[in-house]
Amino acid sequence: MDHLPIFINLRQKPALVVGGGDIALRKINLLLKAQAKVTCVSPHFCEGIKTLSLDSNVSLVNKRFEASDISNYSVIISATDDSKVNESVSKIAHENRIPVNVVDSPKLSSFIMPSIVDRSPVVIAVSSAGKAPVLARIIRAKLETVIPSSYGILAEIAGEYRQKVKDRFSKIKDRRAFWEATFSGVIAEKVFSGRIQEARADIEKQLIDAVEMSLGEVYLVGAGPGDPDLLTFKALRLIQQADVVLYDRLVSKGVMELVRRDSELIYVGKKGGSNESTRQIDINALLVELAKSGKRVCRLKGGDPFIFGRGGEEIESLSEHGIPFQVVPGITAASGCSSYAGIPLTHRDFSQSCRFVTAHLKNGTSNLPWQELVVEQQTIVFYMALSGASHICEQLIAHGMRKEMPIAIIEKGTMPEQKVYITTLADLPSLLLKEDINAPTLMIVGEVVSLNEKLSWYGN
């Protein structure tokens, strides 16, 4: 190890920054986050530094750096593009035994500035000893994605209870078990989903009863349209911590590969070959049963759980049984497929509104409000449209939409197998006869579809 990682307390301590450009500005901002009192010396200052000087913790000294500028500072940072100034700052700081960092010059520095992930009071520092700062930044970015932004709040709450937990559990082993359960279970998830008071009440209860929190929880997670890169950070975190995952046909293989390896997988989609799905009432009951047995259950649904996904029904039943749950939105098929097909859903020249419509027709009959759909400058996105597509086109034409209106059918959108078929309302039935198109497919109707010719970027 070339450097010893330490965290210095700079609260209300004097810090000197030499330099007045954008890099100096970044360093000043960092020092201010650590609550230091900053003096900045430079013959000129960028606008950002001038603005910062309105803060009482920043004072500007408008002149060239001189040896006499260095006095009793706790740290010094030199951020100038003048190597002579940098060398001089470094030399005097070393002589005075003041920690000094010269930007991009490990040789002149007695300390280096790491890349940081700030979840104060939790702070993670990544350093490459000045050898590969870009690599350190990439590592930092990876860490940013897996550490929930509310870890800081969790740490603050833990700080509040530290003494009480010490008083309650005399053995280190018991304290550790308590905190491990708190940081990786229902209490932490309550903090992450903003239910801070409930989380505090749970900790209090644990401290009095010291009982196992036997109730599990349910995460209703949107898996997006297929491309696993479209998952949210939160979705990824929860699918990697769930004990059981209930999934259906629309969740792509790519997403399923990200699920925790040793979790139990339960398929609740259409049964082998048949068109019959697991009954919604049975899924609801299973979610309740699994959570009551103390499991962390992830209900993974294609797209967004609240868009044609019956997510509402599932959490209604959880709420009735007092089971904690959280809902993670996903990218809905309309957003994913339109983006990956190069079809903006709205456009100032072609469409000022967009409607998401389910084309799932009960008993082959349609009860769609056709008059409302045949409106100028509107895009219509039909979910579950494959079997009723010809009927939809007929009805749109019958209600006044022009026969040449462009229409797109997007098959397996956002996945490597994605296919985009572009035609017109009048020609759609013959396209369906000619091509072997399979679910899942999304249908987009509107002038915006013509933009696909210019804007298509994904796949073939």
The answer to whether residue 308 forms part of the interface with ligand SAM (CB under 6 A) is yes
Active site residue 174: no
Write out the two tokens for 341: 């097909």
List the one residue from 303, 329, 388, 446 that touches ligand SAM (CB under 6 A). 303
With CB under 6 A as the contact rule, which of the stretches 91-99, 289-297, 329-337, 425-433 interacts with ligand SAM?
A: 329-337
Determine if 452 is a binding residue for ligand SAM (CB under 6 A).
no
| Alpha-carbon gap, residue 381 to 379, rounded angstroms | 7
Assess 206 for contact with ligand SAM (CB under 6 A): no
Tell me which of 37, 248, 295, 304 is the catalytic residue: 248
Helix axes 196-209, 151-168, angle to 10 degrees: 20
Residue number of the CB closest to ligand SAM reads: 303
The Cα 447–Cα 351 span in angstroms is: 7
From the list 33, 63, 142, 270, the catalytic residue is 270
* Shortest CB 263 distance to ligand SAM, Å: 22
Q: x-or-dash pattern for ligand SAM, window 331-350, by CB under 6 A?
A: -xx---x-------------
- Nearest-approach distance from CB 351 to ligand SAM, in angstroms: 20
In the complex, the smallest distance separating the C-beta of residue 383 from ligand SAM, rounded to whole angstroms, is 4
Q: What is the smallest separation between the CB atom of 98 and ligand SAM, expressed in angstroms?
A: 58
C-alpha distances (whole Å) from 65 to each of 16, 61, 104 are 11, 9, 19
Among 218, 288, 307, 408, binds ligand SAM (CB under 6 A): 307
**Judged by CB under 6 A, which stretch of 176-184, 232-240, 296-304, 361-369 contacts ligand SAM?**
296-304
Binding mask 237-266 for ligand SAM (x = CB under 6 A): -------------x----------------
Among the listed residues 6, 47, 8, the one whose alpha carbon sits nearest the alpha carbon of residue 24: 47
Q: How far apart, in whole angstroms, are the C-alpha atoms of residue 76 and residue 70? A: 9
* 270 catalytic per annotation: yes
Query: Where along the sequence are the contacts to ligand SAM (CB under 6 A)?
Result: 225-226, 250, 301-304, 307-309, 332-333, 337, 383-384, 410, 412-414, 439-442
Q: What is the set of active-site residues?
A: 248, 270
